[in-house]
Amino acid sequence: QSSQSHWLTAEERSRVLLDLKASGWSESGERDAIYKEFNFNNFNQVIIAVSRF
């Protein structure tokens, strides 16, 4: 199964950004990007979180 990627339209982008911002993501003011910060108490928590992706 093959799918091709495409650029989002301005309307699609706005709609997706609303959902992402509601779940803690932010837009980068310096470039066309989004980011989310994660804080962990120890290395084991990092490993558990990374293994889920």
Residue 1 has pLDDT above 90, yes or no: no
**Cα gap 22→29, rounded to integer Å:** 18
For residues 26 and 17, the answer to whether their CB atoms sit within 8 Å is no
Spatial CA neighbour of 33 closest among 12, 13, 3: 13
- Per cent of the chain over pLDDT 70 is 96
Task: Return the half-sphere exposure (C-beta side, CA atoms, 13 A cut-off) of residue 6.
Answer: 6
Q: Which two tokens stand for residue 38?
A: 């994660």
Q: What is the DSSP letter of 41?
A: S
Mean pLDDT along residues 26-52: 93
pLDDT at 52: 87
What is the value of pTM for the model shown? 0.60
